[in-house]
Amino acid sequence: MRRPGPLPRPSRGVSGTRAITLERSGGTLRLSLSGAWTVADGVPGVAPVEEALAAAPAERLGFDSSRLESWDSALLTFLYAVAVLAHRHGAALDADGLPPAARRLLSLATAVPRRDLVQAEADDAMTARVGRAALGVWRTLDDAVRFLGEAVQAGGALLRGRARFRRVDLMHALESAGVGALGIVALINFLIGAVLAFVGAVQLGQFGAELYVADLVAIGVTRELGALMTGIVMAGRTGASFAAVLGTMTVNEEVDALRTLGLRPIEFLALPRILATALMMPALVVYADLLGMLGGLFVGVAVLDLGTLEYFNQTQGALALRHVMIGLVKSVAFGLVIALTGCYYGIRCGRSAAAVGAATTNAVVIAIVLLVVVDALFTVALHVMGL
């Protein structure tokens, strides 16, 4: 194979012309760089260097930049390609002859080996898509059960008085899940009570039984809608807040720092939020029940021309303690579902800003779905027990 000769050097009268000269000295191949190496002139190729190494292997590959006038990323691109060639042909790279800045940048560029990404083959078969989705659901369920077990362990530590979390975090969570939600809970449940009264009036008015709107609103709100609507509002408000806050802490590696300090994130971060939501949900549901019945009273008095005392007496006669207790028991279960879902997606969040948004969305959607499922299970169980 013919040995490549040196590339022509620029003439002395022309400033800025880029040139490479290959010189051999024993087992060293030296690249003399001259002129201006800038992107404006294009990125130089490394074919002459590759031919020289293929014709006669060298032990070392060095540089001489004494006649280098100016350079930018074009030089760095060339140097990185030369470093790859040197590694491929087993030649040691000697960068001492390069400018100090270029030498440091080349060191950074070659610090991590290059990895060629292999594009996965797309599989559009229906069975493959269903299988991947099923495996993803199974992995999520398995991880959720593990998280639930850790939460139960944290609750056991709380009962034994050995839970480690800051009381101020519990106070902040109580305020966020309680007082901070009063406005939206009042508005939603007042309107729900009014809508329920309107729906009942349309049907009961056909029989001249508008008075029984009070029964419908009282039982429907206290037993079902008060807890469910409050749970949905809290899922979109408090559950999303938990997921966003904990997800941001995960992205900022604060959760990893807690593990490094020997603290369990479930116990230190999730337990105060779970406890606060479970405690505040019954109080919010009682508040929601009162506002829902007040909405029904407004419709009954303003639209159906019922007397205020008459409506109140009818509500008192229809409302039993078991209806209120059923709503309160549901509220505790709903609070646990909301807090656990928000904390799960927050702590299991990815490591990017987009992952925080996805975790927040998933926390709200899954919490609402679980609320409906739990409510349906309660309804079936209560029907079986005759309640």
pLDDT at site 164: 84
pLDDT at site 15: 42
Please indicate whether residue 350 or residue 5 has the higher confidence score (pLDDT).
350
Measured distance CA(42)–CA(74) in Å, rounded: 7
pTM listed for this prediction:
0.66
- What are the DSSP E strand ranges found in 38-185? 60-71, 92-93
CA dist 50 to 35, 77, 110, 257, 267, Å? 21, 15, 19, 48, 60
Q: What is the pLDDT of residues 28-50, one digit of tens each?
A: 888 888 888 888 877 778 888 88
19-109: CATH superfamily: STAS domain (3.30.750.24)
pLDDT at site 64: 84
CA dist 169 to 85, 140, 166, Å? 58, 28, 5
pLDDT at site 7: 37
Is 52 in contact with 4 (CB distance < 8 Å)? yes
Beta strands 28-37 and 92-93 are: unpaired
Q: How many CB atoms lie within 10 A of CB 299?
A: 21
**CB burial of residue 138 (10 Å; 0-12, 13-18, 19+):** exposed
Measured distance CA(136)–CA(381) in Å, rounded: 31
Q: What percent of the chain has pLDDT over 90?
A: 30
Is 28 in contact with 58 (CB distance < 8 Å)? yes
Which residues, in sequence order, are bridge partners of residue 62?
Answer: 30
H or E element that contains 33: strand 28-37
pLDDT at site 11: 32
Q: What is the pLDDT of residues 97-132, one digit of tens each?
A: 888 888 888 888 777 666 655 555 555 678 888 888
Is 288 in contact with 189 (CB distance < 8 Å)? yes
Asked whether the predicted pLDDT for residue 13 surpasses 50, the reply is no
The single-letter DSSP state of residue 235 is: I
What ranges do the domains of the chain cover?
A: 19-109, 149-385
Q: What is the mean pLDDT of residues 257-276?
A: 88
Q: What is the pLDDT of residues 315-338, one digit of tens each?
A: 888 888 999 999 999 999 999 999
- Ordered alpha helix ranges (H), 22-125: 47-55, 73-88, 100-109
Least confident of 58-62, 186-190, 342-346, 363-367: 58-62
